[in-house]
Amino acid sequence: MQHKIESLRRELEQHNYNYYVLSAPTISDFDFDKKLRELQELENQHPEFFDPNSPTQRVGSDSVSGFEQVAHSYPMLSLGNTYSEGEVQDFYERVRKALNEDFELVCELKYDGTSISLTYENGLLVRAVTRGDGEKGDDVTANVKTIRSIPLRLQANFPAKFEIRGEILMPWAVFDELNKEREAQEEQLFANPRNAASGTLKLQNSTIVAQRKLDAYLYYMLGENLPTDLHSENLKAAHSWGFKISDATRVCKSLQDVFDFITYWDTERKNLPVATDGIVLKVNSLLQQKNLGFTAKSPRWAIAYKFQAEKAVTRLNSVSYQVGRTGAVTPVANLDPVQLSGTTVKRASLHNADIIASLDLHNGDMVFVEKGGEIIPKITAVDFDARLLIGDKVQFIKSCPECGSTLIRIEGEAAHYCPNENGCPPQIKGKMEHFVSRKAMNIDGLGSETIALLFENELLKDIADIYELKVPDLARLERLGNKSAVNIKTSYEASKEVPFERVLFALGIRFVGETVAKKLAFAFKTIEKLETATFEELIAVDEIGERIAQSVQKYFSDERSIELINRLKQYGLQMQVSEEKLQPAGNTLSGLSIVISGTFSKHSRDEYKTIIEQNGGKNVGSVSAKTSFILAGENMGPEKLKKAESLGVKLVTENEFLAMIGTEKPKPQQGFTGTLF
Ligand code: IVH
């Protein structure tokens, strides 16, 4: 059996490499998943063959703990930056003089992500550490293991121990998709893929990291026994061991070669799937690198050339303030229209009050506008020389431009907020738009314009008013005919059947997104229980942290929320997990104590908890001799596995469990024999 497990692992590693590194898959996704599941099943049945570097370990774990700080064996330095061909030439001359012999430079792209240092021992990834302060960083191994282009196990002929450094990136396509989702969930958007990549790498839950589809390029190897004296050859070797090395890596023998590389990639980089912000020049010979050495901050044998961000100068006419659905106030600069990277720019984001203050902005100033890695152009500086007549200093507003409430600033946050959640028009309208949205109550016919129209005509003051809308009143409004009016009514009537977990999501409680709403609904089962839940009860729920718990408590401590919920209850909305889901489904599990461990694909942990209870079983927290079995998801902790093994407690997979309670037919190849107890 060990042989079978090992050979499946090897086969899946090869497919991962073909797909993520070579971009040349030789197997369908479906067949890959099938094999991966087969391996997972075998590993579950044979915890004695557990391997932290198995392809199944890439799915992430839901352990919630801070990151351990690890000292780097070699400090992680940065590179000196240059911005012109002249400065590149200066670097070249410096190197030539210092070496006083022939040398080659390797030109590479400078990837704009977050740097990582990977340690391999005997061909296995043992540690992945962030740059941190350069001396020590965070151990993010669990998260890095989810990145498919990073090999967990190397192919032949690698040194016994070495470190390899590179850049973790979020491809543009993934970044755009993620921001779209975040917008829909009213979460703050990532400004650029770099922030998104580093934010993702610092997530506590690697299951989410796994979903974010990060990528990685490696560009710097360190160790005692590297294959050759040439950086370029070592990268080739690394490629043959399974690492993703950029194709845009050139050995240059002259300064002209370097300039050609720069010129080519300055435009060609726009067609790459990931962000780059320059090129890196490195002396190819490691011996020569050693002779050149380091300054305190950076190597003398390498330098970065940064691409020019496209810039323009224009006049700042005024600053206006937008109030978002969450009450966050965003300052926006209104500019004289100017051409930048092929588009006309009239507005630029100013982010927050601190940025306005640090730019020393005055109305009428000539300002530099840049479109760097960001999607929205930003003001980077004032052209002080062009300031002839000084206008009024831009002062961040003190009260909400929409409702007049005094703005607040939460400690530690950069943004100002309008606290008038229930009385500020954009916040009310935003709440309504969210309430009717597809993943919430799914009410048709109420787009943002219609909501604005109904709001202005005082037919909608809060979300509960939706259920008071009458067809004749609606039909009387311009732009809304009888047909649309009937459609709205039919649709809100149908929404009364929307399950509780979605109603809870629809309420728009801050930080309660779709997943959190589901977890809370299944953990507390009724709105009344959730209303009265203590802080401790809230944070005891899987994945509910202090920030969410506080927000939930704040929401329910406001009597307007309670009033609103009471009205919604009267209209017949679902305020508890459906009868069907609550009713005991059977007593298949009666008398059994079951531990849930790992991550699951078909239901959340809380749902499984409910399912166990519905079937007469008891969910317990830790493994003991009394445990009947462990409902084992993917990536179960090795400690629990060991304990289960030593006590002889059986592991039951997700599919086996569902088969056991009769919701799913067992698949024959998954080996459920029905004789588990
Ligand atoms: S070499 C000792 N090569 O740029 C120098 N760095 O400011 C080791 N970067 O922290 C770095 N692409 O995060 C190197 N091809 C490349 C790079 C690269 C991006 C980043 C890296 C580093 C920063 C240097």
- Res. 198 pLDDT band, cuts 50 70 90: very high
- 461 forms bridges with which residues in the sheet? none
Report, as residue numbers or ranges, the catalytic residues.
110
Tell me the per-residue pLDDT of 121-155, one tens digit each, with 9 for 90 and over. Answer: 999 999 999 998 889 999 999 999 999 999 999 99
Percent of the chain with pLDDT over 90: 58
Residue 582, pLDDT > 80, answer no
- 161 forms bridges with which residues in the sheet? 121
Residue 646 neighbours by CB distance under 10 Å:
10
Atom of ligand 1 nearest to the CA of 109: 15
Residue 375, pLDDT > 50, answer yes
Distance between Cα 76 and ligand 1 center (Å) = 9
Ligand 1 pocket check for 63: Cβ under 6 Å: no
Residue 677, pLDDT > 60, answer no
Tell me the per-residue pLDDT of 591-640, one tens digit each, with 9 for 90 and over. Answer: 889 999 888 888 877 778 888 888 888 888 888 888 999 999 887 877 77
Query: Which residue has the least CA distance to atom 22 on ligand 1?
Result: 78
Name the strand (E) or helix (H) holding 173: helix 172-184
Taking CB atoms within 8 Å and a gap of at least 24, the contacts of 44-50 are: 44/632, 44/651, 44/653, 45/651, 45/671, 46/1, 46/2, 46/5, 47/641, 47/642, 47/644, 47/645, 47/651, 48/645, 49/1, 49/2, 49/5, 50/638, 50/641
Ligand 1 pocket check for 77: Cβ under 6 Å: yes
Percent of the chain with pLDDT over 70: 94
Ligand 1 pocket check for 169: Cβ under 6 Å: no
Query: Which residue has the least CA distance to atom 1 on ligand 1?
Result: 220
Which of 105, 111, 244, 286, when mutated, tests ligand 1's pocket best, judged by the most ligand atoms within 8 Å of its CB?
A: 111
Ligand 1 pocket check for 318: Cβ under 6 Å: no
pLDDT of residue 616: 82
pLDDT of residue 495: 96
pLDDT of residue 378: 86
Mean pLDDT of 633-662: 84
Distance between Cα 109 and ligand 1 center (Å) = 9
* Three-state DSSP class for residue 147: coil
- Res. 670 pLDDT band, cuts 50 70 90: very low
**Average pLDDT, rounded, for the chain:** 88
Distance between Cα 128 and ligand 1 center (Å) = 16
DSSP line for 180-247: HHHHHTTPPPPSSHHHHHHHHHT-S-HHHHHHT--EEEEEEEE-SS-S-SBHHHHHHHHHHHT----S
pLDDT of residue 311: 84
**Are 163 and 74 contacting, i.e. CB atoms less than 8 angstroms apart?**
yes
pLDDT of residue 288: 97
pLDDT of residue 664: 52
pLDDT of residue 645: 86
| Between residues 589 and 530, the one the model is more confident about | 530
Tell me the per-residue pLDDT of 555-568, one tens digit each, with 9 for 90 and over. Answer: 999 999 999 999 99
Q: 509: Cβ–Cβ under 8 A, 6 or more apart, which residues?
A: 551, 552, 555
Residue 675, pLDDT > 50, answer no
Ligand 1 pocket check for 78: Cβ under 6 Å: yes
Distance between Cα 122 and ligand 1 center (Å) = 26
Tell me the per-residue pLDDT of 250-291, one tens digit each, with 9 for 90 and over. Answer: 999 999 999 999 999 998 998 999 999 999 999 999 999 999
Q: What is the largest CA-CA distance in the chain?
A: 90
Ligand 1 pocket check for 167: Cβ under 6 Å: yes
- Res. 457 pLDDT band, cuts 50 70 90: very high
Tell me the per-residue pLDDT of 25-72, one tens digit each, with 9 for 90 and over. Answer: 787 777 887 888 899 889 888 888 888 889 888 766 544 446 888 999
Mean pLDDT of 184-195: 79
- Res. 668 pLDDT band, cuts 50 70 90: very low
Ligand 1 pocket check for 304: Cβ under 6 Å: yes
Q: Say which DSSP state 331 is in.
A: E
Query: Which residue has the least CA distance to atom 6 on ligand 1?
Result: 110
Distance between Cα 165 and ligand 1 center (Å) = 9
Distance between Cα 265 and ligand 1 center (Å) = 17
Distance between Cα 285 and ligand 1 center (Å) = 17
Ligand 1 pocket check for 299: Cβ under 6 Å: yes
Tell me the per-residue pLDDT of 339-373, one tens digit each, with 9 for 90 and over. Answer: 887 678 899 988 889 889 999 999 999 999 987 66
Name the strand (E) or helix (H) holding 303: strand 302-306
pLDDT of residue 373: 60
Which of 198, 232, 280, 301, when mutated, tests ligand 1's pocket best, judged by the most ligand atoms within 8 Å of its CB?
A: 280
Instruction: Evaluate if pTM is beyond 0.95.
Output: no
Residues 391, 593: Cα–Cα separation, whole Å? 73
Ligand 1 pocket check for 305: Cβ under 6 Å: no
Atom of ligand 1 nearest to the CA of 220: 1
Mean pLDDT of 396-424: 91
Residue 186, pLDDT > 70, answer no
Ligand 1 pocket check for 108: Cβ under 6 Å: yes
End-to-end CA distance of the chain: 23
Atom of ligand 1 nearest to the CA of 113: 13
Residues 505, 520: Cα–Cα separation, whole Å? 10
Distance between Cα 220 and ligand 1 center (Å) = 8
Domains of the chain plus CATH, in order, are 2-59 (1.10.287.610), 81-306 (3.30.470.30), 311-335+346-419 (2.40.50.140), 425-497 (1.10.150.20), 500-580 (1.10.150.20), 593-660 (3.40.50.10190)
Ligand 1 pocket check for 106: Cβ under 6 Å: no
Tell me the per-residue pLDDT of 437-452, one tens digit each, with 9 for 90 and over. Answer: 988 999 999 988 899 9
